[in-house]
A = this chain, B = another copy of it.
């Protein structure tokens, strides 16, 4: 399919700078470009490519001031990244969704499956499972007994959902992710450990996306909860009885220890670790590789470092960490000079 700058500008309510008849039939990254492709510029780190790209059309922010001439036709919009996302969604909407119950899948007789669902080959759906409408369950997925899954949710190949867990609508869960495995609970004995049975479940509300190879443990009692709109990247650890607030974003390889409560619209950077039994207030931001060992009760605080503290202070300490050898030399020099001064004073005394 081919679209003109005029058609795209109309769809995005943008303004054209250049040829309204310019045509595109594909998308590209601005540094790669190519005739007949549409690209975008949002991160100004990539601005230099705007002046050399061969993309036929480029979406840019209304606020962008050009510093050089541009050969592409520009479409100016309020937010080029969001506008581009809308177009990508339009493109993806044209990809037909998988449908139909594959006879090579297994669905327990006591399970119910809604309309327009896909259940792929080698997928396993256990007893009393309730699946909504338009749900996509790819091959080799496991859905344990008594699980419920809301409308439009997608489970990619190999996802494993343990018994009794609940998934909302419009969720996306990527391959090899495990929902509802046992929490890590053991009562220490003299030398050995006694397993604490994990009798709770996991509740995932609507509009949650979870990457691949993520582990979300079931609660000991009660529920581990991901609230509405939460987005998790890959290889993340969510321990038992954790609660993650609405629209919170957690980046790859981060881990949250048991019973911790994360607020709404929190951002947790890659490889960060949050200790158990604490609380993070709404809108808190935790930097990559940080280690958070105490509750953060003030909204919107930004922390960095391990152990984590206020980002401005942490950055100062990190810069001085690099200067430690100089500081050490300074101190030793000062000691010698003081010794000298003391001797001089004694001599004079």
Contacts and interface: CB of A to CB of B under 8 A. Distances in A.
Interface residues of A, number: 114
A337 B337 contact: no
B255 A88 contact: no
A220 B42 CA distance: 14
Interface in A82-120: 82, 84-85, 88-89, 91-92, 104, 106, 120
Interface stretch (A8-16, A68-76, A231-239): A231-239
Contact of A321 (B321, B337, B338): B321
B325 A320 contact: yes
Interface stretch (A59-67, A129-137, A155-163): A155-163
Interface in A256-290: 257, 265, 270-271, 273, 275, 277, 288-289
Given A29-B222, A158-B176, A338-B337, A217 B234 contact: yes
Interface of A: 27-29, 32, 43, 45, 79, 81-82, 84-85, 88-89, 91-92, 104, 106, 120-122, 124, 138-140, 142, 144, 156-158, 160, 162, 172, 174-178, 181-182, 184, 186-187, 189, 191-197, 199, 207, 209, 211-215, 217, 220-222, 229, 231, 233-235, 237, 239, 241, 246-247, 249, 251-253, 255, 257, 265, 270-271, 273, 275, 277, 288-289, 291, 305-307, 309, 313, 316-318, 320-325, 327-328, 330-331, 334-335, 337-338, 341-342, 344-345, 348
Given A175-B142, A291-B288, A211 B207 contact: no
A117 to B, nearest CB: 18
Given A157-B160, A328-B327, A291 B289 contact: yes
